[in-house]
Structure 1
């Protein structure tokens, strides 16, 4: 199926979405690379080819040396905070507004889906909007970490609202598992499907479509595979859906 010409695959994707009763998207770092955010596992350019995540992005690393932890992680967090949605994010928001997509489960912490206009987003690895105190649980905006990483209220260590290595999953992950119930089609976009437990979510869907530049462990089970850029595939999908069903207002 993946050997079909590109336009034929787009037509089949349109047909699959139109006949599916419940469609969800699962996005990874690859959807945000066109916004200037590096991904994690791509050969040579991925962040985890330069750093050991257990050494730089774990709760253990934060507690051991908060100053070094924040100095390093803010280098790429700032890239996330400066980024703007690309056409792939905008296309998913439009598919949701058109009623063809129930919502988006994302591994990303950059908040670009919400900026693009998506209303139903489950951030399974947390987000960069806030931090909180490990002792008194008081919440602060992320900017607090630029000034000091100890709580103004009690002096405890502050941490970001992201899932670090060694953490339990966010509440959004467990909600996403429930949302996946009855999913007929899952669009996997920009994810290598290597990180558990998120990599197991496709088991909860009747069918999957892969939109990713590199192979994944789920390629053999996929109904369709796209290696083209996510922005091109998803925007062509929106245009094709509009042509087949009429414009969205």
Structure 2
């Protein structure tokens, strides 16, 4: 079933009102609407000579830790300058209207948390949770980086406070497994929910793309919000075409959960 973002089907609004356990599964498209580049975007400026997928590997960090750490610090600065968009805020608002809401994200930023979502599981780690490359001990950033860091700057990673080895970004790199606790939380949530939203994700990155299918197998209603078609189209009960920042506030309004004017963006406290 296809619906435009101007046409929220009444059965979906009713399903949202009746839902007891809701999962919101988000991908890079949601962060992109806040201006955060995705892995599919070509790197710009001084970083354009690098391949993003080549930088995001343990081998790259071993060979050129200053290049990889510098790139991730540049990415972290980009996130720090970004702000949650209307989709992030609507998702947080949804958590105040349903008995249980689990936010599962492939994104490594903290925009869901800054929007007010309380239970957020990061399948691919976080830019804001560095850890030791040897002993795995969690580390903290001593100081915030400048608001406008030099693009392309090499930065030597700090030393682990426990063992002295280089600190690495707290993200999942190509060739690495998803963190077991996060994946366990995500799969249980998908298997136990009665309504799952897949928002801004290509549905092509596994194993994360299995989550909507796990929900479907247990009888849940699955809703996809995406501007473009994905492999999930043929399986989802509802495909809402459009930007998440437009669709999600409209969806909440259709269920009576938000402001009735779809042009007004929801904020974490429900005000505009």
Which of the five TM-score ranges fits, normalised by the shorter chain?
Answer: 0.7 to 0.9
Aligned length: 242
Distance 1:97 1:161 in 2: 30
Q: Does 1:157 align with 2:166?
A: yes
Shift of 1:8: 3.6
Matches within 5 A, 1:90-239: 90-99=89-98, 102-143=101-142, 148-170=157-179, 171-205=181-215, 206-239=220-253
Distance 1:181 1:23 in 2: 11
- Contact kept? 2:88, 2:115, Cα under 8 Å: yes
Distance 2:63 2:4 in 1: 52
Which secondary structure state, in structure 2, belongs to the residue aligned with residue 162 of structure 1?
Answer: coil
Query: Which residue is equivalent to 1:23?
Result: 22
Distance 2:24 2:226 in 1: 13
Q: Which runs of 5+ in 1 are unaligned?
A: none
Distance 1:103 1:222 in 2: 19
- Contact kept? 2:157, 2:166, Cα under 8 Å: no
Distance 1:53 1:230 in 2: 25
Greater relative contact order structure (CA < 8 Å, 6+ sep): 2
> Per-residue CA shift, 1:222-244, capped at 9, x if unaligned?
11112211111111122222279
More helix as a share of residues: 1
For the aligned residue pairs, the C-alpha RMSD in angstroms reads 2.7
Which secondary structure state, in structure 2, belongs to the residue aligned with residue 225 of structure 1?
Answer: strand
- Contact kept? 1:211, 1:230, Cα under 8 Å: yes
Distance 2:60 2:108 in 1: 19
Q: 155-164 vs 13-22, which deviates more? A: 13-22
Q: TM-score, normalised by structure 1?
A: 0.86
- In structure 2, the CA distance between the partners of 1:219 and 1:26, relative to structure 1 (3 Å rule), is same
Distance 2:236 2:162 in 1: 51
- Contact kept? 2:108, 2:126, Cα under 8 Å: yes
Q: TM-score, normalised by structure 2?
A: 0.79
Shift of 1:126: 1.0
Q: Which runs of 5+ in 2 are unaligned?
A: 146-154, 261-269
Distance 1:122 1:162 in 2: 13
Shift of 1:11: 3.0
Q: 4-13 vs 218-227, which deviates more? A: 4-13
Which secondary structure state, in structure 2, belongs to the residue aligned with residue 186 of structure 1?
Answer: strand
Shift of 1:101: 5.5
